[in-house]
Amino acid sequence: MVKFLKPNKAVVLLQGRFASWKAMIVRSFDDGTRDRPYGQCLIAGIAKYPKKVIRKDPAKKTVKKSRVKAFIKLVNYNHIMPTRYTLVVDLKDVVSTDVLQTRDKKVTAAKETKKRLEERFKTGKNRRFFSKLRF
């Protein structure tokens, strides 16, 4: 079987609190773990999308509208839908499975993820990833 759920692949969540929200795969576990014996992946996604920025907005308002909120989760393969898009944001050093063990580590990792996603948004690349799904 061809492995297509690779790191940096953009996915859409199908189940749970963040259903219909976009995320990216940080690391995938095809065989699962002892606790969770099924295929799963560690994802980092956008919990709050940036607002639309218009030209006449003051700089302070533009900065506020460009904010992103991030989340980190371990998700079953059945609950994600991969897309054809990839995102070039390096999160391997920030997000790992041991980050999910304690609340403090998870919060700090989410803040760092937020910072890197905001940097990517400000470059103007991957516009589709930073817009809400409309359906």
Closest C-alpha to 22, from 77, 101, 65, 81: 81
- List Cβ neighbours of 100 (8 Å cut-off, separation of 6 or more): 42, 72, 74, 106
Q: Which two tokens stand for residue 125?
A: 């690349």
- List Cβ neighbours of 101 (8 Å cut-off, separation of 6 or more): none
Name the pTM for this structure: 0.88
φ/ψ (deg, to 5) at 129: -65, -35
pLDDT value at residue 109: 94
- On whether the CB atoms of residues 109 and 99 are closer than 8 A, the answer is yes
Residue-by-residue pLDDT tens, the chain, 135 positions: 567 889 999 999 999 999 999 999 999 988 888 888 999 999 999 999 999 889 899 999 999 999 999 999 999 999 999 999 998 888 988 998 889 899 999 999 999 999 999 999 989 888 889 888 887
